[in-house]
Amino acid sequence: MSYNTVGLIGKAAHVGAHASLNALADYLRAKKCTILVEENVAQEMDCDDFTVCDLVTIGKQADLAVVVGGDGNMLGAARVLSRFNIHVVGVNRGNLGFLTDIHPDEVVQQMDLIYNGETMVEQRFLLEVEVYRHEQLKSNNSAVNEVVLHHGKVAHMTEFEVFIDGQFVFSQRSDGLIVATPTGSTAYSLSGGGPILMPHLDALTLVPMFPHTLSSRPIVVDANSTISMRVSKVNSDSVQVSCDSHIVLPVLPGDEIRVSKSNDRLSLVHPADYNYFNVLRKKLGWGSKLF
């Protein structure tokens, strides 16, 4: 692949990320690439032959972005970079690393594969969430993993109704609801008992959070549906909507939250031998012996 301009994005003040960022800069310098470095980590670089810029500029100008960190760093970058025609790959300096494929000890080998074209590029869709009050849009944002309706206080139930494409589905008293993409099906949704969705599925999963009924179960729906959550006016306190646990939108009793598939796509670069089931086995310990 011809990646002439590459953006470097990383976890600030992290020794491991610092080492990987500098190794990447050395590699890209040898390839005579134009290097763009996110402003948050520029001061941690050992060289100065690069351009310091923000994520939007990287999205506009770079052909490839390399995110060094954990899945949280990738999610933060992805919400911005998905708006642009750019490929994204991750170096895992976090914990699980479902979205960051490159092992820190294999940066040079994996980058060689990328520049030799021995990769696959996978499109992941995002969610768009909008909060309406009296039919007027009050706030909106996007999510790679999930949109979560939840109370601002721990162990406080919220009463709300759910509609799919205008059709009433259920009313519920619970701690909230998780609306997850296939990408997010191995994140918070999985912790809540939701199903794992293969990344290429055009589907969403709705996972109730501690519902006050034994009959409430996760449901998988068409990703092209519009999910509407209408917060009952009987709630005494305000609730919240969070995007990937990073961005919080305030919600008042009576508000409506609409969740739909975004037009943006995250173009994830994987090694040529990438296998989703292998990732699940490694990250979730499926291959470990029981005794």
Q: Where are the alpha helices (DSSP H) in the chain?
A: 15-30, 55-61, 71-81, 107-115, 188-191, 276-284
The answer on whether 191 is annotated among ligand-binding residues is: yes
Paired tokens of 220 = 């998988």
The answer on whether 188 is annotated among ligand-binding residues is: yes
Helix 107-115 vs helix 15-30: crossing angle, to nearest 10: 40
Q: Is 263 left (phi over 0), alpha (psi -120 to 50) or beta?
A: alpha
b/e per residue 197-236 (b: at least 16 CB within 10 A)? bebeeebbbbbbbebeeeebebbbeebebebbbbbeeebe
| CA angle 140–142–146, rounded 5-degree value | 120
Question: Hey, which residues does 130 pair with through a beta bridge?
Answer: 140, 258
Reference 194, options 220, 176, 158, 222; nearest CA is 220
The answer on whether 281 is annotated among ligand-binding residues is: no
Q: Rounded to an integer, what distance in angstroms lies between the CA atom of residue 273 and that of residue 285? A: 20
Distances (CA, A) of 174 to 3, 20, 108, 169, 233: 48, 43, 48, 15, 15
The answer on whether 187 is annotated among ligand-binding residues is: yes
The answer on whether 7 is annotated among ligand-binding residues is: no
Count of alpha carbons within 13 Å of 165, Cβ hemisphere only? 6
The answer on whether 145 is annotated among ligand-binding residues is: yes
Catalytic entry in 54, 63, 71, 237: 71
Q: Give the pairing of strands 136-143 and 119-133.
A: antiparallel
Question: Hey, which residues does 247 pair with through a beta bridge?
Answer: 243
* Residue 115 · residue 129 · CB < 8 Å: no
Residue 264 designated active-site: no
The answer on whether 186 is annotated among ligand-binding residues is: yes
Paired tokens of 218 = 């996760």
> Residues annotated as binding site?
71-72, 145-146, 156, 173, 175, 186-191
Q: Indicate which residues carry an active-site annotation.
A: 71
> Residues annotated as binding site for NAD(+)?
71-72, 145-146, 156, 173, 175, 186-191
